[in-house]
């Protein structure tokens, strides 16, 4: 487990999901991305090979024109915590 923890964020196997309105999705992703307790942020995006679009989106390459999936005016954001999800640090985050 220690080896895995050195190479991957603690919460990588169990991201936190945030459902947001399309209107506020970008601002929420930006806020999450600026939080030290969050290792990475991505939108669900059905038009990408992995089904996700990292935030911030890459300016070039195969994901440059990808868009978050919008369903009924909502977007789904995945926030990977920097800590194991069952740890005290994750609960405090």
- What is the CATH number for 8? 3.30.70
Per DSSP, the chain holds a count of helices (H) and strands (E) of 3, 4
pTM, entire model: 0.82
Position 3 confidence tier, pLDDT thresholds 50, 70, 90: very low
Domain that holds residue 20: 2-92
Position 85 confidence tier, pLDDT thresholds 50, 70, 90: low
The total of structural domains in the chain comes to: 1
pLDDT digits (tens, 9 = 90+) for 37-69: 999 999 999 999 999 999 999 999 999 999 999
Question: What is the 8-class DSSP label of residue 58?
Answer: P
Report pLDDT for 4.
Answer: 45
């Amino acid at each position: 487990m220690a080896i895995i923890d050195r190479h991957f964020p603690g919460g990588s196997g169990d991201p936190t999901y945030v459902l947001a309105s399309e209107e506020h999705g970008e601002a929420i992703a930006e806020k999450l991305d600026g939080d030290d307790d969050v290792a990475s942020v991505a939108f669900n995006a059905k038009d990408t090979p992995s089904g996700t679009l990292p935030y911030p989106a890459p300016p070039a390459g195969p994901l440059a024109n990808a868009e978050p999936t919008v369903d009924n005016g909502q977007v789904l954001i995945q926030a990977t915590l920097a800590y194991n999800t069952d740890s005290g640090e994750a609960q405090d985050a």
